[in-house]
Structure formats: C-alpha cells, structure tokens
C-alpha cells in the first residue's frame, strides 16, 4: 500500500454542528462588540474596544 492509497487522517476542528454554532456565535459577538452595538468598551478608541470590553466583563464577573 502506498501513501496515496492510505486513509487520510480525521479533520481537526469543526467535527459537529454544535462546534460550528459556537464559533459562529462567538464571531458575531466579537463583530458586534467591535462595532459598538453593546455598552461595553464604548469609552475606548475603536482599535481598543474589544480589549476594553473584556476588561469590563472581567471586572463584572
């Protein structure tokens, strides 16, 4: 049996629909924070908004 005939290894990453949904929702959350749709990090500059939002969330939790 040659290398080309062997079975390919399983794919890493999104193996289930649930994983894809979690990543999609996380991506949407990051986009919404960055665009200023939530009252998180609104006082920070646009480039620092996500970091400021997570700092606010960490203080709250």
> What does the pLDDT average to over 4-17?
73
| pTM reported for the whole predicted model | 0.64
CA atoms of 14 and 23, how far apart (whole Å): 9
CA 55 to chain centre: 17
Q: CA–CA distance from 27 to each of 2, 3, 4, 21 (Å)?
A: 41, 37, 36, 10
pLDDT confidence of 29, banded at 50, 70, 90?
very high
pLDDT confidence of 58, banded at 50, 70, 90?
very high
pLDDT value at 10 more than 90: no
> What does the pLDDT average to over 29-58?
89
Task: List strand residue ranges (DSSP E) for the chain, in order.
Answer: none
């Amino acid at each position: 049996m040659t290398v080309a005939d062997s079975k390919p290894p399983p794919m890493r990453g999104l193996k289930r629909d649930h994983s894809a949904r979690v990543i999609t929702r996380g991506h949407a959350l990051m986009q919404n924070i960055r665009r200023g749709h939530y009252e998180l990090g609104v006082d920070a500059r646009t480039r620092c908004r996500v970091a400021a939002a997570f700092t606010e969330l960490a203080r709250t939790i």
